[in-house]
Amino acid sequence: MIAFPLGATTTPAELARDPHPRLAELRAHEPVSWLPGLNGWLVTRRDLALDVMRDAETFTVDDPRFTTAQVVGPSMLSLDGAEHTRHREPFAAPFRPREVREGFAEFIEEETDRLLTPLEPHGAAELRRVFAGPLAVAVVTKALGLVDVDTDTVLSWYEAIVRAVSDLTAGHTADPAGPEAYARLRAAVEATVAEGAPTSAPTSLLTAAANRLTLPEVASNAAVLMFGGIETTEAMITNALLHLLQHPDQLALVRADFTLLDGAIEESLRLEPGAAVVDRYATRDTTLGRAAIRKGDLVTVSLAGANRDPAVFPDPDRFDVRRDNSRLQLAFAHGPHYCLAAHLARLETRIALRQLLDRLPALRLDPDHPTAPQGLVFRKPPALHVRWG
């Protein structure tokens, strides 16, 4: 008899294409299930997901199999305990709510205007690549404050590093363009820190971090910030717009009362988090739910599964901009690895959506180009074609 029959028949392809029906089955019957296709455990119930993400001593990211660290070295993303705190704290201050508003709101407004103005006369566009992606790259470029580095360069480094990480995750040799791009990023970090060093009160995020971390450590964390700020924020904007346009009744509520826009963003994060899963590794033999987990086992938390747990979110598959507990969603993870830049991502998405809805009249999906989110780890539509006017 197979101990986890649902897990045994769950494939990565199914989870990449449309995971939610299978995740609901797993959550109801095998909330911690062994998936041969992932060679690890998948956790789909919200309470158990929280148990994993809160307990870094038992479920750690600090493991040689963590592929991002293989490309960019140890960082806040791949360390736990005191070392994680040491890497994370120097970057925390600029991403607090007030600092985010004061440091980024005006820039995001200006960048959104710059991207939308040339689009307005055309009446149609593919908004993921011409709007959401470029906006995310521009904001990350500003946040890092690299000397003499433009958004196109940051984007090229990001894409190369992501390809290398994806190669390793799939069991292949990393594309050498990834380590090469990281070496250029590291050189840019060093140049930025060197230029900022003579000032008595450094304002650069990287220069300030270099007062507490070594240059290689600053560079590895800059790569992590670049990756998270582009990949998941682009997905956050694109998925939220898709959800609104797929539900005209909910869009009408938001247009009538823009205070509901935050609720729409939280609901979109709940239904389709840009990062669908997070990985941990068991540091000891333990029990989670009814599963006996062995030391060294991969334990993957399905944020997408936890976010549709009906014990917390009634009618969990419904997009409801007035849902009163949508902020309980776990799209930004939880515990010590809660997303450092969550406030910035929310601000960016709020400004982007408000501008899109204000400036593109009768905005709607292009029926000639149907789309849906895809991806095993990172989920967003491959393209988002819209019309207006």
User: 172: exposed, middle or buried (C-beta count within 10 Å: 0-12, 13-18, 19+)?
Assistant: exposed
Q: How many CB atoms lie within 10 A of CB 47?
A: 13
pLDDT score for 197: 52
Closest CA to 144 of 110, 213, 94: 94
Q: How far is it, in rounded angstroms, from Cα 112 to Cα 132? A: 9
Please write down the long-range contacts of 17-21, taking CB distance under 8 Å and 24 or more positions apart: 17/374, 18/372, 19/276, 19/302, 19/304, 19/305, 20/304, 20/308, 20/317
pLDDT score for 201: 36
Residue with tokens 């669908």: 276
User: Are 348 and 356 contacting, i.e. CB atoms less than 8 angstroms apart?
Assistant: no
Residues of the chain with pLDDT under 70: 1, 197-203
pLDDT score for 199: 44
One-letter amino acid identity for 274?
G
Q: State how far the alpha carbon of 294 is from the alpha carbons of 27, 41, 52, 60, 332, in Å.
A: 21, 10, 14, 13, 27
Structural tokens at position 236 = 């956050």
pLDDT in tens, 225-263: 999 999 999 999 999 999 999 999 999 999 999 999 999
Q: How many CB atoms lie within 10 A of CB 219?
A: 26
pLDDT score for 196: 75
pLDDT score for 170: 77
For domain 5-387, give the CATH number. Answer: 1.10.630.10
Q: How many CB atoms lie within 10 A of CB 252?
A: 11
- DSSP string covering 183-211: HHHHHHHHHHHHHHTT-SS--SHHHHHTT
